[in-house]
Structure 1
Amino acid sequence: MHATGVKRTAAVSVATLALLVLAACGDGSGQGGGTSPPPDNRVPSTEKPAPVPDDARILAVKIDNVRAARPPTGLDRADIVYVEQVESGLSRILAAYSSDVPSVIGPVRSARESDLELLRQFNRPTLAYSGAQSRLIPLIEAAPLDALPPSKAPRAYFRGGDRPAPHNLYLRPGDTPYDSSGVNAAESIGLRFAAPPAGGKVVKERTVRYPAARFTFTWSADQQRWLVAMDGSPARTADGKRLSAANVVVQDVTVRPSAFRDRSGSPSPFTETVGSGSATVLRGGRAYNAEWGRDKAESRTVFTTPDGKRMTFASGQIWIVYAAR
């Protein structure tokens, strides 16, 4: 069965069991500000990180993010939104879907070397992308993922008429071999949805700057979400809905030149997601200092509080923004 965004019976059963266990243990699942408990596909995890589920099938889509490519379609339904720097100081998005897969996603753009390292923490994900330079293709083919460019699934891609190429390529996940498991992509790599840690600093806004792009996240007490702005303008979906996040992680990483260049000769940045460093987690109108660590490519990224406990996240979408340190 193709991805339809509807949870499978197995996923519901697991979620129901988790809720019963939480109820028996008296474990709270509320968020800051008195928000309601998370829906069953975002059930708080246990204190001890669970192994990656064997059926946690993730669809990762490389999404164009320059002004000419906006607004995006289906980005608001991703479990995790990764933001990374690309050539000429611009940004691009890698969106991870599993618990809720929309019928159309885009605009789809080309893959980068950084994506291959980032995606190693997932259990053989499917990567949808418009293409890649010839020198990178062997690395993509050798990576432990299912590559899904238009050449492998021509019926799944189409060109929209609302904007010029190359910013008008879209994906229909239902016409691909990808089959959603309904497991939340964030939980599949050990991120925990639970009550916030103690402390944190009240923050109304946070901006992350790239050489030629910037993202601003503004807390909305009414919506209990971080409203997203790109390059100074409110970010919206193709149907006019404001993009927002329950959580924003600003992860300080090393960004260095790779061995690849784009068509104009600009070096492609490589974002190192293996290693360790500091991070800031925004949730519930507060900012929490955190540390991140990932000792090897096949390991999952772990976020911890200054006292060494695992960081917890509010129910909902997580944006992870890679910031050069």
Structure 2
Amino acid sequence: MRHRLHPSTSKAVVATFVAASLLLAGCGGGDDEETPDAAPSEPTSSETSEPPEPTYWPLTGLERKGDAPEHPVVVTKVDNTSSSAPQVGLGAADLVVEELVEGGYTRLAAFYYSKVPAAIGPVRSMRASDIGIVPAGATVVTSGAAPITINRINGAGIPWITEGAAGVYRENTRSAPYNLFARLADIAKSLKAEKEPPPYLPWGTEADLPKGVKARTLTADFGAHATTWQFQGGGYVNSNSYAAQGDQFPADSVLVLRVKVGDAGYKDPAGYAVPETKFEGKGAAVLFHGGRAIKGTWTKDGLNGAIELSTKGGELTVPAGHVWVELVPAVNGNLTFAK
């Protein structure tokens, strides 16, 4: 049975409780008054917001700190014969593509975005092959091209800069045509990018790679010229480079893509037919990284498509870093490598 207090009894209990409370309050020190607990503070915006997503350089896959450059990717065509020695500015490139030109020799397309050197050269001419090599939005620095090539480059919407423009000059200590150079840093400052470029290669990490096979040396043979690489100190050294001492490209990986080659439709002044690399479709690929070789396949949907890599096990990514791409002819070209 529940007992209820008489009203007079209830009032007495309340009075006693109030008096006891006042007595306890009077016994406390004046400086030690307790304050009611503060209401829980609302979390600040810095505590509730997620950390910003990391951003990456499109030509190396490395993480970028700060904003993207205001200039576009600048691709410079560089001579790659003994007459070019010493090449200047390759050490600052983000990425390099080596392509076939007439007579079985090669020319370099050096890509600059995260870092731009003061000077680059010797600067040489474009080829129609560059339409499939140069990324959208990039500007090419070149010594020019044959009229048929210029028409095709213009038709592809690729902007280019040549002799006569500010920053392109002749080096009087060298002989023509190997004396054209460019003040690339000054040129880059004069250019404005419409948007940041997409990744040039499918980037990943070393941990993503299949095991592959041991390969500490490799040679990409184009016919009259062969580029040889040795795995040393965690990277790849071009043992027959024409670059100036201390200015060699710091290759973390070498990516060899076997490509179809056609006829560009004209001859050079020496009478050699000018080849055209068909950098679209698909072909065999070998990625060299960490002293190992991973075989796979490359695909590219049209000249402006993205480069995709795969193995029998699935997608193949390239570890972030500086990559030298060898576009070796599937016919009349060769790739060899050894332990």
Alpha-carbon distance in 2 for matches of 1:55, 1:143: 23
Aligned to 1:43: 62
Aligned to 1:35: none
The reply to whether residue 57 of structure 1 matches residue 72 of structure 2 is yes
Q: Which amino acid aligns with 2:281?
A: G
Residue 264 to residue 60, structure 1, CA distance change in 2 (3 Å): same
- Displacement of 1:106 in angstroms is 0.9
Contact 2:90/2:248 (<8 A) preserved: no
Aligned to 1:191: 202
Alpha-carbon distance in 2 for matches of 1:243, 1:265: 32
The reply to whether residue 312 of structure 1 matches residue 290 of structure 2 is no
Paired residues in the alignment total 272
Aligned to 1:48: none
Residue 286 to residue 180, structure 1, CA distance change in 2 (3 Å): farther
Q: Which amino acid aligns with 1:268?
A: V
- SS of the equivalent of 1:268 reads strand
Alpha-carbon distance in 1 for matches of 2:78, 2:91: 12
Deviation >6 Å, runs of 4+ = 53-56, 180-183
Contact 1:305/1:311 (<8 A) preserved: no
The reply to whether residue 214 of structure 1 matches residue 250 of structure 2 is no
Structure whose CA Rg is larger:
2
The reply to whether residue 228 of structure 1 matches residue 238 of structure 2 is yes
Give matches, 1:95-244, under 5 Å.
95-119=110-134, 122-151=135-164, 153=165, 155-176=166-187, 177-179=190-192, 188-196=199-207, 197-220=209-232, 223-230=233-240, 235=241, 237-244=243-250
- Displacement of 1:305 in angstroms is 2.5
Residue 114 to residue 134, structure 1, CA distance change in 2 (3 Å): same
Q: Which amino acid aligns with 2:171?
A: G
- Displacement of 1:188 in angstroms is 2.5
Give matches, 1:6-17, under 5 Å.
17=53
Residue 126 to residue 148, structure 1, CA distance change in 2 (3 Å): same
Alpha-carbon distance in 2 for matches of 1:182, 1:69: 34
Residue 56 to residue 310, structure 1, CA distance change in 2 (3 Å): farther
Residue 289 to residue 267, structure 1, CA distance change in 2 (3 Å): same
- Displacement of 1:300 in angstroms is 0.9
Q: Percent identity?
A: 26
- Displacement of 1:261 in angstroms is 1.4
Q: CA offsets, 1:247-293, max 9 Å, x none?
A: 10110111122212111221111111101011100011111112100
* More displaced stretch, 159-168 vs 272-281: 159-168
Alpha-carbon distance in 2 for matches of 1:253, 1:130: 25
Q: Which amino acid aligns with 1:164?
A: S
Residue 79 to residue 281, structure 1, CA distance change in 2 (3 Å): same
Contact 2:217/2:228 (<8 A) preserved: yes
Q: Which amino acid aligns with 1:99?
A: S
Contact 2:131/2:303 (<8 A) preserved: no
The reply to whether residue 274 of structure 1 matches residue 280 of structure 2 is yes
- Displacement of 1:238 in angstroms is 2.5
Alpha-carbon distance in 1 for matches of 2:236, 2:69: 32
Contact 1:289/1:306 (<8 A) preserved: no
Q: TM-score, normalised by structure 2?
A: 0.73
Q: Which structure carries more relative contact order (alpha carbon 8 Å, separation 6+)? A: 1
Alpha-carbon distance in 2 for matches of 1:132, 1:236: 23
Q: TM-score, normalised by structure 1?
A: 0.76
Alpha-carbon distance in 2 for matches of 1:246, 1:238: 19
Q: Which amino acid aligns with 1:215?
A: T
The CA RMSD over aligned residues, in Å, is 2.8
- Partner of residue 321 from structure 1, selected from 317, 320, 326: 326
Q: CA offsets, 1:20-74, max 9 Å, x none?
A: xx9xxxxxxxxxxxxxxx9xx74369xxxxxxx9978211110011101122111
Alpha-carbon distance in 2 for matches of 1:224, 1:54: 29
Aligned to 1:30: none
Q: Which amino acid aligns with 1:93?
A: L
Residue 256 to residue 149, structure 1, CA distance change in 2 (3 Å): same
- Displacement of 1:136 in angstroms is 2.1
The reply to whether residue 246 of structure 1 matches residue 252 of structure 2 is yes
- SS of the equivalent of 1:245 reads coil
Alpha-carbon distance in 1 for matches of 2:139, 2:150: 15
